[in-house]
Amino acid sequence: MSPLNLKSKKLLFFVISIAILVLVVSCWSLKSGDDCTFSNSSLLLPTTNNTSEYIADYSYRVRPTTKVRKISNKECNITEALLKVYIYDLPPMFHFGMLGWKGKANQTWPDVSEPNQVPKYPGGLNLQHSIEYWLILDLLSSTIPGFKRPCTAIRVEDPNLADIFFVPFFSSLSYNRHSKIHGKEKISKNKFLQEELVRFLMNREEWRKGGGRDHFVPAHHPNSMLDARKSLGSAMLLLADFGRYPLEIANLKKDVIAPYRHVVDSVGDKSPSFEERPILAYFQGAIYRKDGGMIRQKLYRLLKDEKDIHFTYGTVRQNGVKNASKGMENSKFCLNIAGDTPSSNRLFDAIVSHCVPVIISDEIELPYEDVLDYSEFCVFVSGTDALRDRFLVRVLRGIGREEWERMWQRLREVARHFEYSFPSIEGDAVDMIWGAVHRKISAIRLDIHRRSRYIGLEKSG
């Protein structure tokens, strides 16, 4: 080797060494984490469902694969947030007033800076449709200095800056608690609130400008907003499914499907293994249903005599939730069968129990299915096939330990996307719903802009 070549190689080695040293020092001094992340195949999502681990260490956006990044400690601001949300200051009777909260004179919202002081939502089955409660808490906290939460959505005070207009109505709770007429009332409180809400929105310039298409209206309970649906059908609706809606009012093109808030306790990182789940398949709930739910009766007759299948009637009464929680934890598969509507909270109870869901509901719609592949952690069986003699039993017995454990591990990874929490955590249900709303914004803007092409000419003419 010539002295010239040796000298050139030494010089090249010196330059590369200096460059690496500068990069390392600059990353250490910035301590930002996001800008100095090196690719590493060992950075895998934890398989635990202990969501507290994600507060300081992990975040996720769009799809829970294997790569993660550290959460920034910087406060969220309008320029960083994916979604800018204007929330109407409706009177408390539409929201926290239903929880017994009474603020000071002219106070619309409770102080959420101390999570322990936040008004509590009613328990029991009320919780399964409490979605708007968690979303509102998240928005109210989004502008509190020093409040740590994801920077997916942020509340804006100026409606001109908004991507979406949120309508803060506890519609599901209103249905559950105020649907009956009392005393000398001519209409129920639930119907009165819906009428007032429609009147309020129809008089808002924000609604008229886009025809309501850029408004986000919660209606998660299948029977909520019955009187207002037609008037508010142009808005983006927050729903559990489309079972009781005509296509022109509710559809995947404009609406968002949100998970039920699970009723059973999450198993967390204490998830029983294959051997620790002696029950092959589990179902406990209402068996005799109408409409699409007739399939439950037929499946009951087919499966009731199978020794390792638990298929019985059950309710929330007499420790029903506690028994269901234990039953799901002891089962390899949990049956999610269509009832009066295509969906139920049973699917999400199964997910947080790490019991592989078997979905027998041909019309079901699933939350964030554009970014989650449910076939990785669920078994889908059509209603027709499920009613074939011993078909379902053969399918489930044919899934061996290795295949089951693959789905079980995936369940442990995705379960956090179905947890509602306050403060919100990156990748939890609140954060995922805001992400789903954000992915609808482009289509909404396109629709509004196309419809606005000739408005100016019509006015001038």
Please tell me the predicted confidence (pLDDT) of residue 39. Answer: 33
What would the mean pLDDT of 216-235 be, rounded to a whole number? 97
Confidence tier at 126 by pLDDT (50, 70, 90): very high
pLDDT of residue 453: 81
Residue with the bigger pLDDT between 353 and 55: it is 353
Query: Is residue 152 scored above 90 in pLDDT?
Result: yes
User: Mean pLDDT for the chain?
Assistant: 84
Say whether pLDDT at 8 is over 60.
no
Segment 248-270, tens digit of pLDDT:
999 999 999 999 999 999 998 89
Q: 142 falls in which pLDDT band (50, 70, 90)?
A: very high
Q: So what's the pLDDT on residue 43?
A: 25
Instruction: Say whether pLDDT at 95 is over 50.
Output: yes
pLDDT above 50 (res 24):
no
Residue 48 has pLDDT above 60, yes or no: no
The 3-state secondary structure of the chain, one letter per residue: CCHHHHHHHHHHHHHHHHHHHHHHHHHHHHCCCCCCCCCCCCCCCCCCCCCCHHHHCCECCCCCCCCCECCCCCCCCCCCCCEEEEECCCCHHHCHHHHCCCCCCCCCCCCCCCHHHCCCCCCHHHHHHCHHHHHHHHHHHCCCCCCCCCCCEEECCCHHHCCEEECCCCHHHHHHHHCCCCCCCCCCHHHHHHHHHHHHHHCCHHHHHHCCCCEEEECCCCCCCCCCHHHHCCCEEEECCCCCCCCCCCCCCCCEECCCCCCCCCCCCCCCCCCCCCEEEEEEECCCCCHHHHHHHHHHHHHCCCCCEEEEECCCCCCHHHHHHHHHHCEEEEEEECCCCCCCCHHHHHHHCCCEEEEECCCCCCCCCCCCCHHHCCEECCHHHHCCCCHHHHHHHCCCHHHHHHHHHHHHHHHHHHCCCCCCCCCCHHHHHHHHHHHHHHHHHHHHHHHCCCHHHHHHC
Identify the pLDDT of residue 318. Answer: 64
Q: For residue range 344-388, what is the model confidence (pLDDT) as tens digits?
A: 999 999 999 999 999 999 999 999 999 999 999 999 999 999 999
The whole-number average pLDDT for the span 31-41 is: 35
pLDDT value at position 421?
95
Banded model confidence at residue 444, pLDDT cuts 50, 70, 90 = confident
With a cut of 50, say whether residue 230 has pLDDT above it.
yes
